[in-house]
Amino acid sequence: MTTFDLRKLRLRAGDQARELVEIDLEPLHLAGQEYVPRPNPVAAELLVTRASSGTVLELAFDVTLAGPCFRCLEDAELPLSLQLREYSATKPESEDEQTEYLVDEQLDLSQWAHDAVVLALPDQILHDPDCAGLCPVCGKDLNVEPHEHVEERIDPRWAALSELREE
């Protein structure tokens, strides 16, 4: 877990500090598969701006998730370029005015980056947008061997209805 102590910046209202940080990211587990962030730790730029009413936190980093394609299980990579922003009021009047990643001037960079990666994910991680996937009948990779099964398979639960149609 990577944290950053904002007290070491010693910022006053109107001051701004830019820090280069390395953030440790945990692998993501989606649909029973593991997606590994690369590089890990990821190099990031943290920008802290102290305003009179609170602190504006900005984080920017690029990361690639590597793991299996959702459709065919081939190796897939998903590059992400993230620009994040959070605000924490000095005297918050509601929960919207403070960030959950900042507690006692300790900024939890790992959790913030992890949550941002999860929110940036597409519905499916694919090795190619046109991935055909696996054949639902025989399990072969349709990208390598496109085919169709000619034989019509009737679900045994509907067999009685098929017999009525034939009469």
Q: What is the mean pLDDT of each run of 10 residues along the chain (167 residues)?
A: 87 87 94 92 94 91 95 94 91 77 90 95 92 90 87 74 74
Label residue 52 left, alpha or beta by phi (over 0 means left) and psi (-120 to 50 means alpha). Answer: alpha
Look at residue 153 in the predicted model and tell me its pLDDT.
Answer: 66
Element (H, E) at 34: strand 33-38
| Whole-angstrom distance, CA of residue 111 vs CA of residue 116 | 8
The domain spans of the chain are: 3-128, 132-167
Label residue 50 left, alpha or beta by phi (over 0 means left) and psi (-120 to 50 means alpha). Answer: beta
Look at residue 152 in the predicted model and tell me its pLDDT.
Answer: 65
Look at residue 162 in the predicted model and tell me its pLDDT.
Answer: 73
